[in-house]
Structure formats: structure tokens, C-alpha cells
Amino acid sequence: MTSTFQNILNEQDFETTLYNAGMFFVDYSRDYGQMSKVCRELGFQKSDLTDCAYQERIHPDDLVSYLGLWVRFNRGYDDELYCEYRLRDLRGEWNWVLTHATALGRYKDGRISKIIGFDRIINSRKKTEELLLRQLDEAKRKNEIADAVMSAGRLMIHDVPLSENLYEGMEKLRGIVRYDYCALVVDENYRENTIFSPPGDRVQIPDLSSLIHQIRESGYPLIDETGDGGSLMAFPLTVDGAYLGAIVLISGKRGFFDGSDLYPVQSFARIFAIAIQNHHSMKTIIRELERDQLTGFLTRRSFDLAVRKSRKELGGEQKEGMAFCMLDIDHFKRVNDRFGHQTGDLVISQLACICQRALRDQDLLGRYGGEEFIIVLRNAGLANAEAIMNRIRVSIENCVIPEISGGVTVSIGISFYITGDTIETVIERADKALYRGKRAGRNRVVAES
């Protein structure tokens, strides 16, 4: 093979042939070289092929790998050199070059004496590869985001407090979009509650009130800088246009967040918003199940549970200070028969409002039957309980209800919890006291004897 190329070297048009073919040839024994068309276009001289000028124009990031391949090739470990690297042209621009070379001769020590090969500019191919790699990275990132969002979504259906679910979701988000601190502001009935990640780092987060107001008003995400040289990204939590809160990511580095972070944060924001909405909906459903829709009082079952809970919270002496008051509207059947059930409901609603205004937050109110209410006064003695019930009775008697051209009266029975009582026994005694009042002429308060 060497003799064949040696014969070619004797041809006068050898250089032209190599140039047109895009090939190069170097004979180190004669310090002779013919560079490729690519090298000439990049501004190299023939002398550059046998000194260090060629290597000096290789991109620093590619030089180590190039030299490693060249050393193996020059020492005889490899028969061919195949390398892709960047070369700087005379304008200072980088060009991707593919070099493929073969040794035509070697010295006795194995080093190359003659080499032939070709160079190709592969900018277009490398740009395509870079584009495909970016698309692959984006696909991987989207897959990671999807996995994290699905994982966060599964968290939201766990039977644990909402705040714990949201915190776990924020930690999942940290694996996708790095942040130093994160605040998730939940706007519940216009009272803002904030969950922090990492927990306890409230002092590290600037005042968010104006930012949250801006997010709520605009409904759009925001990427901005903080006053201490950091950066933040805020995203509203909405469902069907309804604002439920906001998530704010904070970094100590300026310009840390960019548009590429919006997609994953938006995906998590949607999960958080749905979780908050579901939580609110569930609380509404539970509230509706616990409360009588007409009066807002506890239903009978909910009232029993609330009394049991209250008894556990109170000590022995305090339990015996619990007054159970049964209230019944006098001659209520006449109201329904004469004015109709809708008017009867209106009367019950009016009386419920009077009771609520007269009682404390710690007292319990329940609707026990059609026109029968039950009230539990905590820490109330006999005189105090009778005074409160008489105020309610008088207020109801003096209340004019236009729909019935007058008013109604109520009878009330009072009993007190004693050691050994069950809810049923103490209510039974209050009910007996009530009916003693009915038999005595109605519109009165009667305590158990």
C-alpha cells in the first residue's frame, strides 16, 4: 500500500487530486504536507500541519480528547484516527470538523512517518444533533415533571391534613425546579394561611403581601428580582378562574428563574389548586351534613358528637356545670296549618337567629326535631342558665313576624349534667321539665326539680 501511494506522490497533479478530494497528506520524514480544502478555507498554512499552530486553534473543551486520540494513533495503538472537534477560523468563529486519517508509514519505534486522510465541515450535522439532544433533554424533563406531578397528585388524595399534602407536593416540586425557599399561600375565606418549605424558614422570606395582591389581581405568573439581590417566581392558584392562593419560589441568586420554569410550576400549581378546591368542597359538604340547612344549628347526630367532645374537654366539676336546655315552639302546628310550612320555616329561622345572638361561641345549639331546639350552656349555674333562657324566651315573645301578623312563644326545660349521666338521660330530664312548662301554661322556663 505504501509503494502505491509513493507512486502517486511522484505524480505532478497529486496536490490537486488531494485538494479536490478534500484530503490531506503529511510526510513527516520529508517535512512535507498537503493540507485539505477544509483547512485552507479555515485559514491554515502548510507549515501549521507540522507544528503546534493547528492544535492551538482547537477548542479548549475538545483539545484533551483530540490529543488523547492522536497519541494513541501516533504510537501505533490505533490504525486510524477518527475525531470530531471544533476549529477556530481566521474570523474567530468555531467550526465543527470531522477528521478521519490512516497511517501510510511508521518509523521503527512505531511513530507515524506518513499519514493521509480527509477533513469535513460538519456544522449542520452537529447543530441537528444539538437540537435533537435538547429535544431529548426537554422530553426527559417533561417526563420527570409528569412523574413528579402524578406523584404529587397521588399525595393529594391521602387522608392527611391539607397542609401536610401541600408541603409534600412542594418538596416534589423542589426536585424539578430548584429553590431556596418556597411559600404556598392559601386564601381561605380571605384569610391567608402560608405553608413554608423548608419549614420554619418564614424569616428568610420577604413580605409577600403586595406580591400576592398583584398576582391575585392580574391572574398571571410573575418572575422578578427581590430587594436583596435574589430572584423569585410567583404563580397564582386558580380553578375555573377562581383565585385560591399563590405559590412563590425564591432563590438567593439574581436571574435564577426563567421562562423554562413556568411549565413545571404551572403543572404543580394546578395540582395544588385542585387539592385546595377539593378540600374546601369537602369542608362545605361536611358542614352541610353537620348543620341544619334552615337554622345553621348542629344536626342531632352532630350535636351528640359535639357534646361528647365537650364533655371530654371539661373536668369533673365543669361537667356538672353543663346546662341542657330543651326549647319548643308553642302551638307550632297551628302556624303550619294556618300559614303553611314555608311560613313555619321562616318562623323557625327567625327564632334560630334570636338564639344565636343570645349565646356565647362556646355554647352548643342543635335542632333536635321539627320545632324543637336543644342548647348546651357550658359552665353555667342554675340561676345563670335560667336568666339566659328567659332572655331568649322574652326576645322571641317580643319578636313580631309580619308573615303571621304577630309572634310566637316558646317553652324551655333545663337540666344539668350529673356524674353517671349519659347524654340521653340528661336530655330526657330536660324534656320532662319542658313538658311541665307546657302543662303549666306554656311560654315559660322550667328547671328540673
Residue 337 has φ and ψ, to the nearest 5°, of -65, -35
- Between CA 287 and CA 302 the distance in angstroms is 10
Place of cell 395582591: 213
Amino acid at 266: Q
Among the options 217, 225, 371, 372, which is catalytic?
A: 371
- Between CA 96 and CA 46 the distance in angstroms is 20
Residue 34 host element (H or E)? strand 32-34
Closest CA to 399 of 355, 340, 333: 355
**CA distances for 409 relative to 206, 341, 368, 377, angstroms:** 58, 18, 18, 21
DSSP structural state of residue 401: B
Q: Are 152 and 164 in contact (CB under 8 A)?
A: no
Whether 371 is a known active-site residue: answer yes
List, as one string, the DSSP characters of 48-90: GGTSTHHHHTB-HHHHHHHHHHHHHHHTTS-SEEEEEEEEE-T
Q: Which residues pair with 32 in a beta bridge?
A: 27
Q: Are 95 and 121 in contact (CB under 8 A)?
A: yes
Residues 6+ away with beta carbon under 8 Å from 316: 419
Closest CA to 438 of 408, 402, 400, 410: 410
Q: Which three cell numbers stand for residue 54?
A: 493547528
Q: What residues are labeled active site?
A: 371
